Amino acid sequence: ETGVTQTPRHLVMGMTNKKSLKCEQHLGHNAMYWYKQSAKKPLELMFVYNFKEQTENNSVPSRFSPECPNSSHLFLHLHTLQPEDSALYLCASRQLAGALLEQFFGPGTRLTVL
């Protein structure tokens, strides 16, 4: 696998379920991000991890819980979601303070909350 991978690609869950989204980057980057993309707000930054440490949480409800066990993996744990949380969840990574500034995105997980 190359680049940034995300699993699952599609997820349907009820409001009482607990599920997790997984992201893995194979680029040797040291920063990883979760974005939410919906029709109303195209690309919302949710969480920022630099060197495995969470440095930013953009007022995301506590029903979303991120986890970064190492610099290559990022999880988004979901519980008691609402229908308005239905969106495309994108993971991205980049190399901090390096010569290459490109931020790479995964293909996303399409989440539907019933």
Partner 1 sequence: QQQVKQSPQSLIVQKGGISIINCAYENTAFDYFPWYQQFPGKGPALLIAIRPDVSEKKEGRFTISFNKSAKQFSLHIMDSQPGDSATYFCAASLSGNTPLVFGKGTRLSVIA
8 prior amide bond cis, ω within 30: yes
Contact positions vs partner 1 (CB under 8 A)? 4, 31, 33, 41-43, 45, 48, 50, 55-56, 90, 92, 94, 96-97, 101-108, 110
Task: Return the number of the residue (14 or 42) whose C-beta is nearest partner 1.
Answer: 42
In angstroms, the Cα distances linking 84 to 5, 58, 102, 113 are 25, 17, 31, 8
Task: Return the number of the residue (66 or 106) whose C-beta is nearest partner 1.
Answer: 106
Supply the Cα-derived Rg of the chain in whole angstroms: 13
Task: Return the number of the residue (50 or 80) whose C-beta is nearest partner 1.
Answer: 50
Pairing of strands 73-79, 64-70: antiparallel
Q: How far is the CB of 35 from partner 1 (least distance, A)?
A: 8
